[in-house]
């Protein structure tokens, strides 16, 4: 026996019609575009609202010789598992001309599988890698015997520092075609990188011991920073005995351009150093900065502090600044990358100290990042980390206060 009311049966079509009219009215009153605009203003705890923001144009960059291909694959797998399978940043893998042919189809397929097809190979011309013809080969050979570090290592430092090639000789080879640069070419102007704003450098012999549950590039954007790093370390001067004095000479040429020959290579007066640049990061106190600006500073005035840049996230504007471009060009003309072992870490650190404020660099210290099995900072109590204690990382010393408090003890 049915228990439904005849009255309700008669009213049901009218109720349905009323509901439909109400829904149409609400859609007209609050169209999807307005609801989307409203939701963009909401921020929920633990959410970065990345789904409502334009994704940063970032790329992970790695330079690798054929001998490190297996090591690079292990690193790529670690990077993918710790964060990039979620973030899906592309990779550009640089190899020197002639080496790319040594990568087998099996190795390519493995890299394709690990990175889900997001890795591309790019070529550095052999002419950009080999010893410049203008340098004295006997002096370079003597340096290799006394200081050490192979030609390939020194060429790598030059590549990451800037790798200047003059427009009359430059050709950049990428995936089978040759492109000439209309202006002096630096590595960040390589055709494989020009589409990206953020360059994230990693080495083949690194490991992340923690899951990175956020987007490090987005974290820099949120903090209005242009440079991201994991730690600050000291670099030795015996491998680069004249680097500090050459940096000081460059600074004097910018600070007192009328007393410099730098204008012989440029048509206009160089820009001044920003007043709030963090020069005390690399020079000892006010007197050290003053000596550097006079062109009188040397190793005893250098703090030896530098960003540990085998992990480095940078906005391309850092390197495209006129000061940094002139800085690298000045250093490259001296031949110090090959006559000595001038490291890209101290050169980058000198460069950002000349051009950035303290707040424009941001430390990413919760990633459990480790390079070559060295001591590292790892938040051991975090459930997202698997800190390996092959060394006593609890005694690890990070000199990061040197950037944020450069006037403190050196």
pLDDT tens per residue, range 208-219 = 999 999 999 999
Give CA 393 to chain center in angstroms.
24
Reduce the secondary structure of 309-349 to three states and give it as a string. Answer: CCEEEEEHHHHHCHHHHHHHHHHHHHCHHHHCCCCHHHHHH
Closest CA to 386 of 367, 403, 399: 367
Rg of the Cα trace of the chain?
Answer: 27
How many Å apart are CA 142 and CA 52, to the nearest integer? 57
Is the C-alpha dihedral spanning 360, 364, 370, 376 positive or negative? Answer: positive
In this prediction, residues 336-359 reach a mean pLDDT of 96
pLDDT tier, 143 (very low <50, low <70, confident <90, very high otherwise):
very high
Q: What is the pLDDT of residue 391?
A: 58
**What is the pTM for the complete model shown?**
0.81
Q: What is the pLDDT of residue 282?
A: 97
Q: From the CB of residue 323, how many other CB atoms can be counted at a distance below 10 Å?
A: 19
Closest CA to 401 of 276, 315, 303: 303
Q: What is the pLDDT of residue 288?
A: 97
Q: What is the pLDDT of residue 40?
A: 36
Closest CA to 403 of 256, 229, 143: 229
Looking at every residue in the chain, the average pLDDT score rounds to 83
Q: What architecture (CATH level 2) is domain 56-404?
A: Alpha-Beta Complex (3.90)
pLDDT tier, 151 (very low <50, low <70, confident <90, very high otherwise):
very high
In this prediction, residues 389-403 reach a mean pLDDT of 71
* Structural domain spans, the chain: 56-404
How many Å apart are CA 212 and CA 216, to the nearest integer? 8
Phi first, then psi, for residue 68 (nearest 5°) are: -105, 15
Asked if residues 215 and 53 have their Cβ atoms less than 8 Å apart, the reply is no
Residue 39 in this model has a pLDDT that exceeds 90: no
pLDDT tier, 41 (very low <50, low <70, confident <90, very high otherwise):
very low
Residue 243 in this model has a pLDDT that exceeds 50: yes
In this prediction, residues 334-349 reach a mean pLDDT of 96
The single residue listed with the structure tokens 């599988």 is 113
């Amino acid at each position: 026996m049915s228990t439904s009311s005849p009255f309700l049966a008669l009213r049901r079509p009218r109720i349905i019609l009323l509901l439909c009219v109400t829904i149409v009215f609400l859609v007209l009153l609050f169209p999807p575009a307005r609801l989307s605009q409203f939701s963009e203003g909401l921020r929920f705890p633990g959410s970065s609202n990345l789904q409502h923001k334009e994704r940063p144009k970032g790329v992970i960059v790695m330079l690798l010789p054929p001998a490190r291909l297996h090591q690079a694959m292990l690193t790529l797998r670690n990077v993918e598992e710790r964060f990039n399978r979620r973030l899906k940043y592309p990779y550009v893998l640089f190899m020197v001309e002639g080496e790319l042919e040594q990568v087998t189809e099996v190795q390519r397929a493995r890299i394709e599988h690990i990175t889900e097809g997001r890795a591309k190979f790019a070529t550095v011309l052999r002419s950009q890698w080999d010893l410049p013809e203008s340098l004295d080969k006997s002096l370079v050979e003597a340096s290799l015997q006394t200081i050490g570090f192979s030609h390939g290592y020194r060429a790598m430092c030059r590549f990451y520092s800037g790798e200047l090639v003059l427009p009359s000789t430059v050709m950049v080879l990428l995936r089978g075609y040759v492109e000439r640069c209309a202006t002096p070419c630096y590595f960040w102007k390589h055709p494989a990188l020009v589409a990206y704003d953020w360059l994230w450098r990693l080495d083949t012999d690194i490991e992340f011991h923690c899951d990175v549950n956020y987007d490090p590039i987005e974290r820099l954007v949120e903090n209005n920073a242009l440079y991201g790093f994991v730690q600050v370390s000291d670099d030795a001067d015996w491998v680069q005995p004249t680097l500090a004095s050459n940096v000081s000479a460059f600074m004097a040429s910018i600070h007192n351009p009328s007393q410099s020959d730098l204008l012989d290579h440029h048509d206009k007066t160089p820009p001044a150093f920003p007043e709030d640049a963090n020069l005390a990061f690399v020079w000892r106190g006010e007197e050290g900065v003053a000596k550097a600006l006079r062109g009188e500073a040397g190793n005893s005035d250098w703090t030896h502090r530098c960003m540990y840049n085998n992990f480095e996230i940078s906005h391309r504007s850092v390197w495209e600044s006129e000061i940094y471009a002139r800085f690298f060009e000045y250093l490259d003309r001296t031949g110090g990358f090959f006559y000595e072992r001038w490291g890209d870490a101290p050169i980058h650190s000198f460069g950002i100290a000349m051009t950035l404020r303290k707040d424009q660099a941001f430390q990413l210290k919760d990633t459990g990042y480790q390079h070559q099995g060295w001591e590292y900072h790892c938040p051991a109590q975090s459930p997202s980390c698997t800190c390996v204690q092959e060394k006593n990382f609890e005694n690890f010393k990070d000199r990061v206060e040197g950037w944020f408090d450069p006037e403190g003890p050196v």
